Amino acid sequence: MKKLMALLLAVCLMLTLAGCGGGTAVYVQSVKTLASLGGIAPGDRFAGVVVSENVAEIQKDGDKTIAELLVKEGDDVKEGDALFSYDTEELQLNLDKQRLEKEQLDILDICLPTYLHADAAVEALNRGIHVIVEKPMAMTYNEAAVKRAKSNACPGGGCPGVRPKIMQRENGTSARSAVPSRLNQWPCQIKLVPTHAPYFEDAHLLIAADCTAYAYGDFHNTFMRNRITLIGCPKLDEGDYTEKLTAIIRDNNIKSVTIVRMEVPCCGGLENAAKRALQSSGKFLPWSVVTISTDGKILE
């Protein structure tokens, strides 16, 4: 016991002297070293902190989702051991979406895990692609109904009424029609157009209320000529146009935006949605608003 007390006094003296050295490191003896010197009785107690010899911080990729943790607290691991696994199915879905943006597909056959069916189908339908989906289309009936409504899909797959196409128009007057159409693409309803389509490239965008084309006699030549036309009625259509218009403006090379609305108050919803879309897109584009009166005149 005397040996132990002498040893502890020597350790304390070394610590005290080290602390007075003007910033020099403190000398500390581990319990293992003290025990190797002998003389420690079973009932002896020591104060201290147990720390890991080595600490390594592991961080996952922020853009990926962890599918499974392969270790738990207290497990022994060595270099090269897998600690967790990523969700590769979600990565594959993102790759498939990127391919949809680059490739011009007529039809898409979806053969993914069931829980990914609905999102992949909606993504393709919104781009005007016909879709074949293995049963079931979604995990639940309600999810399938909601997804179908959001994508404006028709029973059995992609609907011909929403399939994008570009019309080639002659600048001259047709012999058969004194007033040729100036519609340059199909579809033209905001709810039906895909967010990505070839006709949006370098496009001058016209966002018009449904009634404006009926109220203003020369609507085609004045507003639609050399523009891509999107129409809607905020009073009759469900939901807000902001999200769809934002995606169109943000994700395509749009050159300018012209908004044509009626003077009636309910038409303000279309103008406000277009303005919010311009702000949310993060782009600075030339834009203007034209108001048509109910008797067919352009209001200043």
pLDDT in tens, the chain (300 residues): 544 444 444 444 444 444 445 555 555 666 667 666 666 666 667 666 666 666 777 776 666 677 677 778 778 777 777 777 766 666 666 776 666 666 666 777 877 777 777 777 777 777 667 788 777 766 666 655 555 555 544 444 445 555 566 766 666 555 555 678 999 999 999 999 999 999 999 999 999 999 999 999 999 999 999 999 999 998 888 778 999 999 999 999 999 999 999 998 888 889 999 999 999 999 999 999 999 998 899 997
Domain 88-159 has CATH 3.40.190.10: no
Task: Tell me the domain boundaries of the chain.
Answer: 88-159, 180-299
Give the chain's end-to-end CA distance (angstroms, integer): 104
Pairing of the two strands 165-166 and 185-186: antiparallel
Contact in structure between 196 and 252 (CB atoms under 8 Å): yes
Integer Cα distance of 234 and 261 in angstroms: 11
User: Letter for the amino acid at 109?
Assistant: D
User: Letter for the amino acid at 57?
Assistant: E
Counting DSSP H helices and E strands in the chain, the numbers are 9, 11
Could you tell me the two tokens for 225? 């000529």
Which of 97, 99, 296 is closest to 213 using CA atoms?
296
Instruction: Determine the pLDDT at residue 82.
Output: 78
Instruction: Determine the pLDDT at residue 111.
Output: 77
Equal fold, 88-159 vs 180-299: yes
Question: 180-299 sits in which CATH class?
Answer: alpha beta
